[in-house]
Amino acid sequence: MILWITKNRNKFYEVKKVKRIVLLLLFMLLLPFAQKVHASNIVIQVNEEATVFDNRSGALEQVGTLSGGQTFEVTKDYGANWWQIRWGGSYGYVDKRYTTVVPSPTYKNTVPSVAKIKDYIVATKVTPIYDNTGNKLVQFATLSEGVRFPIYSRMGSWYGIAVNGRLGYVHSNFVNEEKGQETTNPSTKPIEKPTPTPTPPSKQNGYIEALENTVLYDLRREQPMSIATLNKGQQLEVAGVGDETYVQVRWGKTFVYAEKTKVKFVNTPTYKNIGKDNAVKNQYFIPISGNSEIYDRSANKLVPFAKLDMNRRYPILRKEANWYVTTIGGREGYIHSSKVALDRGVPVMMYHHLLKEHELGRFKNVSTTMTDTQFANEMKYLKDKKFETVSADDLLRFMRNEITLPAYSIVLTFDDGLLSTREYAYPILKKYGFQATQFLITYRNEYSPAEQLFNYNDLQALSRKDMELMQDVFTYESHTYNLHDMIGNKGKMLLIPYHEVVQDLKRSLTIIPEAKAFAYPFGQYTTNTIYAVKEAGFAMAFSTKPGYNNPYDDVYQIKRLYSDQQTSFTQFKKMVSPYAQ
């Protein structure tokens, strides 16, 4: 053998060299696979605020959100449309459309995936979750109202929670603490808090029976809002104790409450038409008839068990022939299709400039100008029809499915912050007790004189003094600091560098620091524009695209409607109706 190698030395080294090359090539080819085996889970970056859903009920239920620009590890690639992540004691699911796969997470405050868990928090409202590893708190996610989450640590007024392997902090003002059963397995459902009711049901959920006709309330807004009336002697399933005053029953993806003094607790129901509240669609109907009762059909006959309020939106479980099926308190209710209309969402009206008829001059037939008489007639109609003018903030909560709004709800907006709104819009809105939103080009407002006479031949901007005097009617949001200009047929906002856009939007907030909403100049925007709006700190943005707004719609592309000098009163009435007429 040695003799053969000596005689064939050159050939031997050539073969050895070839082998080394082959091995090197194989190593290079296999390296990505080796890295894949030893690398951590897939990491995603959230492009815009993304909803986290729980699917354990058989339907998607919102349990929180992930903030735009933040990164998260994925526990599982869940098919073509979803990522699976750790969420509390179970899993959450995030729509892939709102994410991008990135090489690694950007955060450092990791925590073990399995830790000893004893107590829990329950979010009493939408709860921001913060990272505190830098010099300031940075929000990276939220918990939805009612979501129960295990406590990882405590620090003063803050609770630490393990969010998908990342340590986050929530303030005690947003949550209640709840004792549980110690466990080291985060996937095990904890034992619920005992139910301290006067006559506790034999199992956790139990049932209530109405001692009299009993109103069911939604408590998520400032004032309790009646949703339905449970008929005397009828029953619903209990979802939770609520507090000393109320008992909680499920309604779609949220809850309504009955006064405890008006119900009694029973162990077993007398009805059979069990309904899965969480299985409702993102579609709603509005009762349009005084006969708005919902019926039990389980005994081959119609038995009314509750009456729906007229000015409300009700989730649809399904449709059977000429009947819509909704659900409340774990019980299916039938209502005939002739008694309801399909909800098309919340309208947002867009106005700009108001003048008297004789003042129109060069503004005659200009789409952004209307007469004060037309505006007054439209507002009177809204008042006569008992519309509620809701704030931009309530619209945001509605679109996140955090609250419901009356069927006759509307958002009134004014673009450009013009002085004519002081002259003509403000007194009319104040007369009817309405609220509205002004989108300001804040450079113009910053330099407007405090005492200025109205000149109908000019476009004048509100001053800071004007804004202060009208804050009982108007809230003020951003329409840029100084980017409301056209260059050719494109808005300036689309033509300047990204960082300059962000800088301008942040500067607008120095004039209106409480602003959360933005309106795109001339209705023009791109994906980059949306990113800039988010980076500047706005929670929502309004477009000029026509249409209505519903839960889970994109809050950075809110649709609006407008009325101008060519809009007839009949057209306006059809436009603002909560359902097609």
What does the pLDDT look like over 418-452, one tens digit per residue? Answer: 999 999 999 999 999 999 999 999 999 999 999 89
29's CB contacts (< 8 A; 6+ apart) are none
CATH architecture under which domain 348-576 falls = Alpha-Beta Barrel (3.20)
> Distance between CA atoms of 336 and 407, rounded to whole angstroms?
19
Q: What pLDDT score was predicted for residue 32?
A: 44
In contact, 541 and 533? CB cutoff 8 Å: yes
Q: What pLDDT score was predicted for residue 299?
A: 79
pLDDT band at 26 (very low <50, low <70, confident <90, very high): very low
> Distance between CA atoms of 304 and 306, rounded to whole angstroms?
6
> Distance between CA atoms of 490 and 115, rounded to whole angstroms?
55
pLDDT band at 54 (very low <50, low <70, confident <90, very high): confident
Residue (of 169, 163, 85, 88) closest to 131 by Cα position = 169
Q: What pLDDT score was predicted for residue 30?
A: 43
251-284: b or e for each residue (b if 16 or more CB lie within 10 Å)? bbbbbbbbebebbebbeebebebebebbbbeebb
> Distance between CA atoms of 540 and 520, rounded to whole angstroms?
11
Residue (of 237, 245, 238) closest to 271 by Cα position = 237
In contact, 175 and 127? CB cutoff 8 Å: yes
In angstroms, the first-to-last Cα distance of the chain is 98
In contact, 348 and 560? CB cutoff 8 Å: yes
pLDDT band at 135 (very low <50, low <70, confident <90, very high): low
Q: What is the dihedral of CA 500, 503, 507, 509, to 10 degrees?
A: 120
Q: What pLDDT score was predicted for residue 199?
A: 34
Residue % of the chain over a pLDDT of 70? 86
- Per-residue pLDDT at 1 exceeds 70: no
The values of phi and psi at residue 395, to 5°, are -65, -40
The residue-averaged pLDDT of 464-491 equals 96
Q: What pLDDT score was predicted for residue 410?
A: 98
Q: What pLDDT score was predicted for residue 375?
A: 98
Instruction: Give the helix/strand (H/E) hosting 24.
Output: helix 9-38
Domain limits, the chain: 2-38, 43-183, 207-342, 348-576
Higher pLDDT, 44 or 112: 44
- Per-residue pLDDT at 5 exceeds 80: no
- Per-residue pLDDT at 226 exceeds 90: yes
- Per-residue pLDDT at 159 exceeds 70: yes
- Per-residue pLDDT at 265 exceeds 60: yes
Q: What pLDDT score was predicted for residue 249?
A: 94
Q: What pLDDT score was predicted for residue 554?
A: 95
Q: What pLDDT score was predicted for residue 513?
A: 95
137-174: b or e for each residue (b if 16 or more CB lie within 10 Å)? eeebbbbbbbbbbbbbeeeeebbbbbbbbbbbbbeeeb
What are the angstrom distances between the C-alpha of 485 and each of 413, 489, 497?
Answer: 20, 10, 15
* 334-359 pLDDT, tens digit each: 999 999 999 999 999 999 999 999 99
* 522-574 pLDDT, tens digit each: 999 999 999 999 999 999 999 999 999 999 999 999 999 999 999 999 999 99
What are the angstrom distances between the C-alpha of 312 and each of 280, 308, 407, 446?
Answer: 16, 8, 5, 41
pLDDT band at 113 (very low <50, low <70, confident <90, very high): low
**Is the Cα torsion angle 314, 319, 323, 325 positive or negative in sign?**
negative
- Per-residue pLDDT at 311 exceeds 90: yes
pLDDT band at 120 (very low <50, low <70, confident <90, very high): confident
Q: What pLDDT score was predicted for residue 546?
A: 97
* 165-198 pLDDT, tens digit each: 888 889 888 888 887 644 444 333 332 222 233 3
What is the overall mean pLDDT for the chain?
86
- Per-residue pLDDT at 53 exceeds 90: no
- Per-residue pLDDT at 37 exceeds 50: no
Q: What pLDDT score was predicted for residue 152?
A: 84
> Distance between CA atoms of 63 and 144, rounded to whole angstroms?
5
Sheet holding 340-342, edge to edge: 314-315, 284-287, 340-342
Higher pLDDT, 418 or 155: 418
In contact, 273 and 329? CB cutoff 8 Å: no
Q: What pLDDT score was predicted for residue 36?
A: 37
* 507-527 pLDDT, tens digit each: 999 999 999 999 999 999 999
* DSSP 8-state assignment for residue 261: G
pLDDT band at 300 (very low <50, low <70, confident <90, very high): confident
* 364-384 pLDDT, tens digit each: 999 999 999 999 999 999 999
